[in-house]
């Protein structure tokens, strides 16, 4: 089923504002919360300190999640310092809500930055191996796209995927992305480039 925007996520984040997480900065879906991390939270996460973050978000973060995201938290913290308007688009843990227990981090999601000159944003995401195959990735991406469309008027999305990443290729196919080319990424090697117009 192609992506169709809905209106059920968070309220607008003022451009250029560095915010801590609160009710108005959490993208929600049926099973997941995607809270926006503040600059201070990104700095602590990059240092490997998730104790305060867990308390602030009411969530648990296993070592595997922390190890996977520390490099990205450092990169996104630097990005916010250099380009404050990118802040609302950046790193969000994917938290699976639980009844009578803290939420659990099952992955993360972010756009690579604010919209470009075409009004396009690029999505990136990761799920822990134990969380795969349960529909969390597509649910999180759909919720993030709905937020971007409803709050910021975004109608063009991009995804760059390794040709060996069958799960991501499957996900973007379900969302209705169309391949527009390929590129060489210095860190990830060959990537297929896809776009989705909504």
Question: What 3-state DSSP class applies to 11?
Answer: coil
Are 148 and 130 spatial neighbours (Cβ–Cβ below 8 Å)? no
Task: Please give the helix or strand (H or E) that residue 50 lies within, else none.
Answer: none
CA–CA separation, 160 vs 194, rounded Å?
6
CA–CA separation, 51 vs 113, rounded Å?
27
pLDDT for the residue 165: 95
Radius of gyration of the chain (CA): 16
Task: Please give the helix or strand (H or E) that residue 81 lies within, else none.
Answer: helix 63-82
Look up tokens 């799960």; give the residue. 167
For residue 192, what are the β-bridge partners? Answer: 161, 182
CA nearest to 108, candidates 89, 98, 95, 120: 95
Measured from the Cβ of residue 137, the count of other Cβ atoms closer than 10 Å reads 24
CA–CA separation, 189 vs 109, rounded Å?
20
CA–CA separation, 65 vs 48, rounded Å?
10
Structural domain boundaries in the chain = 23-197
Token couple for 138: 């597509």
Residuewise pLDDT in 10s, the chain (198 residues): 444 444 333 333 333 333 333 445 899 999 999 999 999 999 999 999 999 999 999 999 999 999 999 999 999 999 999 999 999 999 999 999 988 889 999 999 999 999 999 999 999 999 999 999 999 999 999 999 999 999 999 999 999 999 999 999 999 999 999 999 999 999 889 999 999 999
**CA 173 to chain CA mean position, Å:** 18
CA–CA separation, 149 vs 63, rounded Å?
33
Look up tokens 């996460």; give the residue. 45
pLDDT for the residue 171: 96
Fold of 23-197: Aminopeptidase (3.40.630)
CA–CA separation, 125 vs 20, rounded Å?
21
CA–CA separation, 106 vs 126, rounded Å?
9
pLDDT for the residue 20: 34
pTM of the model: 0.86
């Amino acid at each position: 089923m192609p992506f169709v925007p809905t209106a059920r996520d968070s309220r607008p984040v003022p451009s250029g504002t560095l915010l801590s997480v609160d009710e108005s900065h959490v993208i929600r879906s049926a099973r997941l919360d995607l809270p926006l991390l503040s600059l201070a939270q990104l700095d602590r996460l990059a240092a490997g300190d998730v104790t305060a973050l867990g308390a602030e978000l009411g969530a648990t973060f296993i070592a595997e999640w922390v190890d996977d995201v520390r490099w990205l938290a450092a990169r996104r913290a630097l990005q916010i310092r250099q380009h404050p308007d990118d802040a609302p688009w950046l790193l969000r843990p994917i938290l699976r809500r639980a009844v009578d227990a803290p939420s659990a981090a099952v992955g993360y999601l972010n756009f690579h930055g604010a919209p470009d000159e075409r009004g396009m944003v690029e999505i990136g995401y990761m799920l822990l191996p134990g969380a795969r195959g349960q529909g969390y990735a597509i649910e999180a991406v759909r919720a993030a796209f709905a937020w971007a469309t409803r709050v910021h008027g975004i109608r063009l999305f991009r995804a760059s995927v390794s040709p060996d990443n069958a799960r991501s290729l499957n996900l973007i196919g379900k969302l209705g992305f169309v391949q527009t080319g390929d590129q060489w990424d210095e860190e990830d090697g060959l990537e297929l480039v896809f776009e989705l117009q909504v």
